[in-house]
């Protein structure tokens, strides 16, 4: 497996949700927990090993260094209720006024990405601890892109501009993928905080209100100047 540079989150490191989705695709069950053990390297041949005879767990290696592991998971939190697409558009305007984006080139939420090059999600606040982002995919996305879309809104529910954080663990279930040009809404909810750990939940809804995917996450506060070094 190779994580192309295009799919980075922090500079020099793969976007957590995208990498998790790629590895989860090797585990043939509908709900998967992926734990990131170190920043996923870019443009590097990584090795995937299947850890049990049923294929219900897999690990991602950079040489002899464990990068991530995927296991059968379970989601216990009810899905976050969606807001209308128009409300998500208004929330996105608030996101664009935010300063000090810790990872401005992020494939999912980086404001420096060009249209068509990144997802360019803009998760803005809709209520205390809850964010929403509009998403109109240009084409039918692969499932790992749904994992990616479910990633960053969880972090922004805690305002990662003020306290930068990266994804540590993500449990996700993808029921379906959106159509090309479909007006989707991604929701993020801040659940709790324990020191440097932040617990969040996310959900993706289609234009007709159907739940396309959902996730639970653990985020870890980091110093963006030294992360991955």
| Distance between CA atoms of residues 43 and 46, nearest Å | 9
Q: What is the DSSP string of 86-139?
A: HHHHHHHHHHHT----S-TT-TTT-TTSPBTTB-----EEEETTEEEEEE--SS
- The reported pTM is 0.94
Confidence band for 156, pLDDT divided at 50, 70 and 90: very high
Least confident of 18-27, 61-70, 153-162: 153-162
Tokens of 217: 């996450």
pLDDT tens digits, one per residue of 66-91: 999 999 999 998 999 999 999 999 99
Confidence band for 229, pLDDT divided at 50, 70 and 90: low
pLDDT tens digits, one per residue of 38-64: 999 999 999 999 977 776 899 999 999
Domains and CATH numbers, the chain: 5-72 (no CATH), 85-221 (3.10.129.10)
Confidence band for 27, pLDDT divided at 50, 70 and 90: very high
pLDDT tens digits, one per residue of 86-138: 999 999 999 987 777 889 999 999 999 988 899 999 999 999 999 999 999 99
| Distance between CA atoms of residues 207 and 132, nearest Å | 14
| Distance between CA atoms of residues 153 and 14, nearest Å | 17
| Distance between CA atoms of residues 154 and 161, nearest Å | 13
CA-derived radius of gyration, the chain? 16
Let me know how long the chain is. Answer: 229
Element (H, E) at 201: strand 197-205
């Amino acid at each position: 497996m190779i994580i192309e540079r295009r799919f980075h989150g922090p500079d020099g490191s793969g976007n957590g949700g995208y990498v998790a989705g790629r590895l989860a695709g090797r585990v043939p069950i509908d709900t998967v927990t992926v734990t990131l053990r170190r920043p996923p390297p870019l443009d590097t041949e990584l090795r995937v090993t299947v850890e049990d005879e049923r294929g219900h767990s897999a690990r991602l290696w950079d040489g002899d260094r464990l990068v991530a592991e995927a296991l059968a998971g379970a989601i216990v939190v009810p899905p976050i209720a969606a807001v209308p697409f128009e409300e998500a558009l208004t929330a996105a305007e608030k996101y664009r006024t935010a300063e000090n984006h810790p990872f401005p080139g992020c494939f999912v939420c980086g404001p420096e990405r060009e249209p068509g090059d990144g997802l360019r999600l803009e998760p803005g606040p809709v209520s205390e601890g809850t964010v929403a982002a509009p998403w109109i995919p240009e084409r039918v996305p692969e499932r790992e892109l749904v994992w990616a879309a479910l990633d960053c809104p969880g972090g922004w529910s805690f305002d990662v501009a003020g306290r930068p954080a990266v994804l540590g663990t993500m449990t996700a279930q993808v029921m379906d993928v959106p159509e090309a040009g479909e007006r989707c809404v991604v929701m993020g909810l801040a659940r709790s905080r324990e020191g440097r750990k932040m617990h969040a939940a996310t959900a993706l809804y289609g234009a007709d209100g159907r739940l396309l995917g959902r996730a639970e996450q653990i985020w870890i506060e980091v110093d963006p100047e030294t992360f991955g070094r």
